Amino acid sequence: MVTEVARRGTSGGVATSAEVLTAACQCFPGQLTVALSYSDDPLGVLLQTDQVHLARAIELAERGRGHTSPNPVVGAVVVKDGQVLGEGWHERLGGLHAEREALAACGNADTRNATIYVSLEPCCHEGRTPPCTDAILEAGIARVVVASDDPTGKASGRGLGILRDEGVEVTVADGEFAARARRINQPFRKHARTGRPWVMFKAAMSMDGKVATRSGDSKWISGEDSRTLVHRWRGHCDAVVVGIGTALADDPMLTARYEGAPRQPRRVVFDAEGRLPLSSALVKTSRDFPLTVVVSRAAPRTATDALEAAGAEIIVATGGNEPARVKSALDQLGGADITSILLEGGPRLAGAFLDAGEIDEMRLFMAPLVVGSAAARDPLEGTGAEQIAQAMRALSLECTQVAGDVLLIARLQEW
């Protein structure tokens, strides 16, 4: 509803801020309460419209999910005299950034003295596209409202400083809007700060917390709707990671199989000794869908040479234990512009990721099943915490129903 009102207004013309505000309040009751602070708004009317347009910019940014990596997802809205002149988002890597898309969408409208709302601070450097600060200044924009910062070394407030120096009023959001804008770009933010990819761990478990029976059987714990959702997550991530145990037991493809998938993720197998069979589905499709095998120094040269000859990329992870080798591998994957990973197990590998402090979010499906065996597999089989006080505590929890399953989303780290 907000989208349609923003585009055409309630009367079929250009939407006014009041129309967009009304639509947003109907769609998101009780959610538009975070204030922005700036000096020239004594009546507070602009505070409400700022929130609506900034919320719209964040909403638009989400449309780029899965298409822009290693760039962030960004949305922008141009408003003048209460009317939305144009909006846009960063649609694909190498394409126009959100600010330029929004300004282009204004057509012949006069953008002088307009306000642009952006979910991420505008870039000021020359990359695959020219700086967005140049486009903002050329359009005569008088005010820029930004939802979140860009933590990369070539940004970090530089673009906002350039705009201020040129006389543009700059407002930076805080509170819930800033948090929301940061959340949609967690992969970009972690990669910018650490050089390593953001990691989402997913598992499907029974009500007693088991991901497989004592014989190793796990098909299928979760329902079809849950498994379809996982395919969408694959399409949104740069890479899907499993351990050699899962690869040998399931012979998976690890592709995103749904209509409209934006791309196929890189498949990554942690395989210390290079045991992945050349006859596996992963290796046989490695020339069609990228495959990386992470080995240790103990892997035989004959095995790694054969995997490379079949089309796989080999990464040698170093370190004295599994968590150290996880960090080594993530450093190398991050160096190849992998910014997000869907970690699908198995339990030992997931435990090593947790012990390394490299699980940023957990998505756990709970099915209405009870396995009831002490020998059945747990989702995480690492060293873990000795004391409850040392256990990792979630920053936030969300719970939703997916057909017959329950999905729990726990955010463990924020960047």
- Please identify every residue annotated as catalytic: 99
β-strand partners of 405? 402
Closest CA to 176 of 30, 49, 359: 30
Residue whose tokens read 């922005």: 36
Neighbours of 143 (CB within 10 A): 19
Kind and range of the H or E element at 59?
Answer: helix 45-61
Angle formed by the axes of helices 45-61 and 98-105, nearest 10°: 110
Six-digit token string for 403? 């057909």
Token pair in block for residue 19: 């129309």
User: In which residue are the tokens 């170093």 written?
Assistant: 318
| Burial class of 377 by CB neighbour count within 10 A (0 to 12, 13 to 18, 19+) | buried
- Give dist(CA 147, CA 165) in Å, integer: 20
Q: Where is 170: in which H helix or E strand?
A: strand 169-172
Between CA 300 and CA 298 the distance in angstroms is 6
Q: Cα(24)–Cα(5) distance, rounded to whole angstroms?
A: 9
- Euclidean distance between the first and final Cα of the chain, in Å? 31
3-state secondary structure of 366: strand
Task: For residues 59 and 197, give the distance between their C-alpha atoms in angstroms, rounded to a whole number.
Answer: 23
Amino acid code (one letter) for 205: M
What is the C-alpha to C-alpha distance for residues 113 and 117, in angstroms, rounded to an integer?
13
Instruction: Classify residue 112 by burial, with Cβ atoms within 10 Å: 0-12, 13-18, 19+.
Output: exposed
